[in-house]
Amino acid sequence: MSSEQAVLEALRSLEPSAAVKVIGVWLGDHSLHAVQETFQEAVLNDPALCAHQGGMTGGAPQLKPQSSVPLIKAQAPNAAPLTAPTDPQGHPLPSSNPARMGKLYDAEPVSSSRVPGELLMKPEPVFHGERDNQQREMAPVYQFPMHVIYDPLTSGLESDSHFHVEEKQIIAGRYLVIQYLGSGTFCHTVQCEDLQGEGAHRFVCVKISKNTKDILDQNLWEVKLLKLLAQKMDKEEQKCLPLLLNCFYYRETLFIVYELLRDNLYHIYKYIDECRLPKYFTVERVQEVARQCLSTLVSLHKNEVIHCDLKPENILIESLTTCKIKVIDYGNAYLHHDQRCSYVQSRAYRAPEVVLGLAYDTKVDMWSLGCILMELFTGKLLFDNKSVQSLLASHIALRGLFPDHMLRDGQLAHYYLDTTPGAPQCLVGKHDGKLCRMHPHVSSIANVLAHYGCNDAEFADFISELLQNDPEMRPTAEQALSHPWLLGSSGACAPYVLSDHLGEAAKQMRSKYPSMNDASAAPKPQIPGQEKETLGPATPTSFREQCYLDRERGEKKKVDKKWSRKSIGEGAGAIAKKCFSGSSKDVTNSLDHMIIQ
C-alpha cells in the first residue's frame, strides 16, 4: 500500500469531525493557494482524477462528449452537484452561502515592489491581420442613396453641433418623438411615430448618432453592413436582421430608422427579477433563445461577418409570449478579411483569445453566446468583470488553465500572467482598490447550474462546449445547433402567465402584452399589418432609465440595497410605478420635458 493510500485509509477510519481537524492542521502548515495550484495541475495532468467515482472529487458523473461537436477536454474537476434550497413551490432560493458560488478566486494583497513591471502596465490594443490593398482595389464597389435634409439657416459651424431631442419633437418634419428607449456609446435611441408611414411601420425606432467623426463612421458602417448583407442573404436569412427602414443626415447628425422591436433581454430579466415576478428565462426559453441566436450566427458567419458585440442588451424581444428574439447592433462587427482590433466585445462577454491578444475569428461570438445563456438562466453575470485580471481569473476557475500556446502566442498575455511554461496561472491586478494577486478556485459550469437548481447534464455540456478556453475546441454555430440539448426538446415554450395577485407590475406587463391574458390565443396585431403584440417597450421608461444609470454591469451593492429596501417596504407594484428619483409618474409621461443630449 502506497503512502497516499495509507493516509486516505487513515482519514476514512476517523470520525468526520476528527478528519476535518487533521486536514485543517495540514492546510495550516501549507499555503492554501499553493495547494489549490498543485491540485489543479494534478487534475489537468491526470484526467482520471476528474472521473474517479467515489473518490475525493465526490464522484460527479462525467458529461459525455457529443459526436457532432468538438470534444471537451478535461480542464477542471466536475465538482459534486450542489442541491439548491427551494421554496414551497419548488423555485430555487438565493444561496445561504454566497461565497461558495460567487467567489471564483482569492485576492491576496501584494506590494508593487514584488510584482514585475509589465504586470502593472495597461497595454495598448493590438491589431491582427494586414490590409490587402490589391484585393481592396479589385473588390466590387457598392452604393446606396442617403437623403441629406438641411436647414438653410444652419451652417453646421455653430458652437453646439450636437442634436438635442425632446419628447413630442418632430425630427426632419417626419418622425414624432414618443419616448426615450435608451443610450449607448455611439447613439441615443427613441421611439417615434412615422407621420408618413402606415401599417406595420407606423411606429419605428430611431437611432441618433452622437456627433463626432469616429462615431458617425461607426454608425454609418452598420448601415453599410446591413445593406451589404441584404444583398447577399436570401429572404429567409434576412428575417434574422433588424429591418432598416431609412437613413438620413439632418442637422449635422446621422439618423438611422429601424423597425420597432421590444425590450432587450437584460431589461426583461432584470425587471421581472426586481418586481418579484415568476421566472421568465426557464431552461426551455433559454433553449429557444439559443436556437434563434445560433441561426442568426450561422447566417452571419456564412457571410464572413463576426458580430463582436453579443450581449443581452443587443438581443431584443419580438414576442414575449412566443419568446421570439432578434439580434441587433452591428456597428462593432468585422468582416472576416478586415484588420481586427483587440479592443472588442463588452468585457463580461469577451473571449479569452481577445483578452490575451491572439488573432480571433467567428468563435468569439460563440463564447459570448455561452455567457449570455448562463446569465439569462441565473440572472447573474457568469464571469467577474471588475477588471481584466478578475475576468481571466474567473475564466480559469470555471474553465481551467489556458493552453500554453495561447500564453505563448498572445501578444497581451504577459501583461496579465506569468507566461513562463509551467508557471502557476495567477494574476495581478486591482481588487477593491488594492493591488492583489488573484488565485483562481476550481469549479465548473455544472456546479454553477446546480447551484441554481438545474442538474441538466446536457445543458452543462452545451455551455461547456461554447465556453472552451481554446477557440479551436469550440463548435461552430452550425455544429452547436445539432447538439443534443437543442435537438432533444420540442422548441415550443409554455406560455408565460401572470395572474392578478402578483400586483401592478404584472398588470402592467399584461397591458403591454395582451396575448398573455389568453395563453391559448396567438398574438394579435394591434394595427393592420403589424405582427407584434403591442407598441413600444414593455417595461416602464423610468425603470429603463435606471438600468442605464446603474449599468456598469458590476451591479453595485448600494443599488442592490436600494432596490431591496423598495422591494420589502413597498412591493413590486410600487417598484413598477415609481421612477428612480422616487416621484410617481405613469409610463407615457415619464420623460415629459426631458432633453437628451
Give the pLDDT score at 37: 56
**The pLDDT value given to residue 491:** 65
What pLDDT does residue 446 have? 96
Closest CA to 472 of 346, 310, 358: 358
Helix, strand, or coil (residue 438) = strand
How many other C-beta atoms lie within 10 A of the C-beta of residue 188?
A: 18
In this structure, are residues 396 and 402 in contact, taking their beta carbons and an 8 Å threshold? yes
For the four alpha carbons of 133, 137, 140 and 142, in that order, the dihedral sign comes to positive
Specify whether the CB–CB gap between 226 and 247 falls below 8 A. Answer: no
Q: Are strands 244-250 and 147-149 parallel, antiparallel or unpaired?
A: parallel
Q: Give Cβ neighbours of residue 318 (< 8 Å, ≥ 6 apart).
A: 261, 262, 324, 325, 326, 532
Q: Cα(191)–Cα(367) distance, rounded to whole angstroms?
A: 32
pLDDT confidence of residue 548: 40
Nearest in space to 72 (alpha carbons), one of 323, 370, 331: 370
* Distance between CA atoms of residues 231 and 240, nearest Å: 14
Mean pLDDT by 10 residues, the chain (597 residues): 74 75 64 55 54 38 35 36 39 35 82 79 84 76 88 74 87 94 86 87 92 89 95 92 94 93 92 90 96 97 96 92 92 88 93 96 98 97 93 95 94 86 79 86 94 95 98 98 88 79 83 63 39 44 39 42 39 32 30 32
In our burial notation (b when 16+ CB lie closer than 10 A, e otherwise), range 103-138 reads ebbbbbeeeeeeeeeebeeeeeeeebeeeeeeeeee
511 contact partners, CB below 8 Å, separation of at least 6: none
Predicted pLDDT at 179: 92
Give the separation between CA 571 and CA 266, rounded to whole angstroms. Answer: 21
**Could you tell me which of 123, 125, 121 has the C-alpha nearest to residue 429?**
121
Is there a catalytic annotation at residue 309? yes
At 266, is the secondary structure helix, strand, or coil? helix
Is-contact 307 333, C-beta < 8 A?
yes
* Cβ atoms of residues 106 and 439 within 8 Å: yes
The pTM for the full model equals 0.73
Residue 458 exposed, middle or buried by CB count within 10 Å (0-12, 13-18, 19+): middle
Quick one: pLDDT at residue 350? 97
What pLDDT score was predicted for residue 13? 78
User: Which listed residue (194, 309, 461, 550) is catalytic?
Assistant: 309
Q: What is the pLDDT of residue 226?
A: 96
pLDDT value of residue 41: 57
| Residue 516 near residue 524 (C-beta atoms within 8 A) | no
Q: Which residues contact 382 (CB under 8 A, 6 or more apart)?
A: 348, 370, 371, 374, 375, 394, 398, 448
C-alpha cell recorded at residue 255: 439618423
Residue 359's Cβ-count burial label (10 Å; 0-12, 13-18, 19+) is middle
Query: Exposed (0-12), middle (13-18) or buried (19+): which is 193, by Cβ within 10 Å?
Result: middle
pLDDT of residue 380: 94
End-to-end CA distance of the chain: 76
> 220, 240 in Cβ contact below 8 A?
no
pLDDT at 322: 86
pLDDT on residue 412: 93
Rg (alpha carbons) of the chain, rounded to whole number:
26
